[in-house]
Amino acid sequence: MKYRLLDLLVCPKCKNEFELQEFETSDPEEVEQGLLQCSCGTWYPIVDGVPVILPNALNIYPDFANRYAEQLPEWSISEQEIREFEREKKKTQESFGFEWTVYSAVRDDRDEGYVLEGGLTPDFFAGKLVLDGGCGYGRHSKVVHDFGAEVVGVDLSVAVVNARKVTRDLPRAHIVQADLFNLPFREETFDLVYSWGVLHHTPDPRRAFEGLVDFAKEGGDVSVKIYRKRPAPAAFIEGMIRKVSLHLPLKVLYNLSYLAVPINRLYWTIGRFIPG
């Protein structure tokens, strides 16, 4: 975690600034392991250079909890709060963590195209402070940085491990593991709030969007990409598949996906001729 990120992060509970406790540093600009402590009593770990601002942080990274057990304060988040968070979001956390750990190739040309889909231009980004909401393994955060912006990529899942690898050597890129519904920033902080292909995967896409907008500065910009509503035949087929796929173990689903490749190609070929 770059020290500069401390200027942007606040406690999601009370919006006060954090104090930093360092356990390990990698160079004069980076904290590898440590704590972010708030005066309200809440604290969160910094694990392998990534602040983990989540109720279940120690459940996700038990090795950190064991390694620094003697240095850690008592965990301030109740078991009930952790259970409620995991009941609503653990499956999403795990599935996208798996996906963006398996698929982590950076394709600059393609990723640049995604970032610019909303009508933005490369010149727009110079000198801007950008929030990448749902950054996955950091591919769009890298593009935004390379266009000249300072970027904070946020993701719910352990894909942040790969996002840190992708952005580690980029001087104006930061990665945070956090929940889009409970972000650790002050409102009206960012020149641009960007989210590509993420909000429709949240429990409440409208609320996620409305919440993200609050973090754009007055007069700032918001660029969001979500899936369009499918035509009725396609939506029905997808719905039937999801009723099964949502309950399969991730590795089983991953292996089955290879069988689905020819079906998917047929689906899109036929779909071009379906009205709507």
Structure confidence at residue 198 (pLDDT): 80
In this structure, what are the phi and psi dihedrals at residue 61, rounded to the nearest 5 degrees? -125, 70
Give me the mean pLDDT over the 88-105 stretch: 62
Mean pLDDT of 8-30: 94
109 pLDDT tier (thresholds 50, 70, 90) = low
Quickly count: other Cβ atoms within 10 Å of residue 261's Cβ: 9
- 163 or 95, which is more confident? 163
Domain ranges of the chain: 3-88, 108-225, 232-271
Residue 199 has pLDDT above 90, yes or no: no
Residue 110's pLDDT is what?
A: 74
The predicted-structure confidence for 201-227, as pLDDT tens digits, reads as follows: 777 888 989 989 999 999 999 998 877
The type of residue at 4 is: R
- CATH topology classification for 108-225: Rossmann fold (3.40.50)
User: How far apart are the C-alpha atoms of 178 and 76, rounded to whole Å?
Assistant: 17
The CA-atom distances, in angstroms, between 238 and each of 194, 214, 264 are 27, 33, 11
The proportion of the chain whose per-residue pLDDT surpasses 90, expressed as a percent, equals 54
The predicted pLDDT at position 260 comes to: 72
Element (H, E) at 260: helix 250-271
68-78 pLDDT, tens digit each: 999 999 888 88
What is the predicted pLDDT for the residue at 166?
A: 93
- Chain centre to alpha carbon of residue 209: 14
Q: What is the mean pLDDT of the chain?
A: 86
Packing angle between helix 139-146 and helix 108-115, nearest 10 degrees?
80
DSSP state of 121: -
Query: What local confidence, expressed as pLDDT, does residue 145 receive?
Result: 98
Q: What is the pLDDT of residue 230?
A: 65
More confident residue, 255 or 211: 211
8 Å CB contact between 163 and 142:
no
Say what the pLDDT of residue 231 is.
Answer: 64
Q: What gap in Å lies between CA 192 and CA 5, rounded to an integer? A: 17
Which of these, 33, 59, 261, 70, lies nearest to 164 by C-alpha position?
A: 33
Q: Are strands 173-178 and 190-196 parallel, antiparallel or unpaired?
A: unpaired
Listed range (84-98, 217-231, 255-269) with the worst mean pLDDT: 84-98
* Residue 243 binned pLDDT confidence (cut-offs 50, 70, 90): confident
> Does the predicted TM-score (pTM) go above 0.85?
no
CA distance 242 to 230: 14
What is the strand order of the sheet 43-47 is part of?
19-27, 30-37, 43-47, 50-53, 173-178, 150-155, 129-133, 190-196, 216-225
In the chain, which ranges are E strands? 19-27, 30-37, 43-47, 50-53, 129-133, 150-155, 173-178, 190-196, 216-225
pLDDT greater than 90 at residue 2: yes
Other CB atoms within 10 A of residue 168 CB: 14
213 Rama sector, left if φ>0, alpha if ψ -120 to 50, beta otherwise: alpha
Q: Quote the crossing angle between the two packed helices 250-271 and 79-102, to the nearest 10°.
A: 60
